[in-house]
A and B are shown apart, each in its own frame.
Chain A
């Protein structure tokens, strides 16, 4: 190393220069790509919702969304109503799928009646699906998903995703073998109260033949992520129970 690069003045100037250059570069990249990224995120939400109600291109073992380019059209075609439930009010909103669940969860903590709960009503092959978003935390970061139900709160399909769960372990919540286990599971207990679905370790029913046990088989090595899935299903889907009660009474 030459003497020039060892001086304090040089070091400080270099540090400042580095911060400016790298900062500008990152800010520029982020700002110029923002519209593209936002559009991708928007389309992904539509794909996720459609996936949960069974509109997807799944092959035998992997989860495949409908084509991105077709997502808006299919979304319009299959999703008949986008509802926003806020306290006792139910309104329609064509952009309900863009509601930030994380933010609404924070609002709900202070005042549950102010929380906006989006619910997407879809029709496929003459059957009605109710798709609700859920949001929670896994081992490292956020996890979220969409669950579609019928009017008796029996799960018709589920899609889970995560920000940074461990590859090969917790990250497997978005694999078919895990998500498909939820199909047909009952969210309500025997007496009609809300029970949720437990991602259970040491489940006596690994083939998942018993759909009314409110349990699916957990992933080995992903206990905390699995608990996160259990928790978000319990806390978020429970809020839709009154809606389904109303549905039945009317």
Chain B
């Protein structure tokens, strides 16, 4: 990597695997349960968080020396909420269709604990560039898990991917359904997201024993 120093590159690659916000830090589980019933929603959420966490981390990092430690959590919350609301308003005014798609996610983004977690754990103690990379890295790590979970939940729950009927038509009984396959409606409910995340954690830790805590 010519663009980033080794240390900086690690800020991006670490959260993708060995320090993944969902599977290792166990942050952002709530939104991972809520919106992964469909692959499309997962992707939209991943991109939104990428944006908010990248920008938010930079803003908090720039303010890190002037934020009073007693009220830092509230300050962080205010910053992220203001940021998200302003973006939402601008989209509503100039890209109405897009804002309709995203509006549901606004509340989920503000309350996403990955965002608060990264502000608190990283941006408050590091410079803007590093914080930006950390934000992007963690958002990507979050997005990857979201997309994996969304992929399996939509495929097994609805038999579709991004809305396309990849397994055939369950009502007309074509494709896989012709030989008696049925969608697992349980996959659409949030507990199954937790189980899929659990399986990912299991696979990840059995491949890398260092991740197993005592």
Contacts and interface: CB of A to CB of B under 8 A. Distances in A.
Given A5-B68, A5-B69, A221-B189, 12 more contacts: A5-B65, A10-B68, A11-B71, A15-B71, A26-B82, A37-B93, A40-B93, A163-B103, A167-B41, A167-B45, A168-B188, A206-B171
Contacts of A36: 92-94
Q: For chain B, what secondary structure do more than half of its interface residues adopt (helix, strand, loop), or is it mixed?
A: helix
Interface string B147-178: 00000001001100001000000010000000
Given A1-B69, A6-B70, A165-B104, A207 B82 contact: no
Interface string A1-28: 1100110001100110010001001100
Contacts of A191: none
Interface string B30-53: 000011111011001100000000
Given A18-B75, A26-B86, A61-B163, A167 B104 contact: yes
Contacts, number: 97
Given A33-B90, A40-B93, A168 B103 contact: no
B37 A14 contact: no
A44 B34 CA distance: 28
A14 B38 contact: no
A30 B89 contact: yes
12 contacts: A6-B69, A15-B68, A22-B82, A29-B86, A40-B96, A44-B96, A68-B96, A166-B35, A171-B104, A220-B158, A220-B188, A221-B189
Contacts of A166: 34-35, 37, 104
Interface string B57-73: 00000000111111100
B211 interface: no
B178 to A, nearest CB: 16
Contacts of A162: 104
A168 B68 contact: no
Nearest to A34: B93
A173 to B, nearest CB: 12
A126 to B, nearest CB: 32
A162 B89 CA distance: 18
A221 B163 contact: no
B185 A164 contact: no
Contacts of B105: 167
Interface string B131-160: 000000000000000000000001001100
A169 interface: yes
Contact of A14 (B35, B67, B100, B154): B67
Contacts of B65: 2, 5
Contacts of A1: 69
Nearest to B189: A221
A168 B36 contact: yes
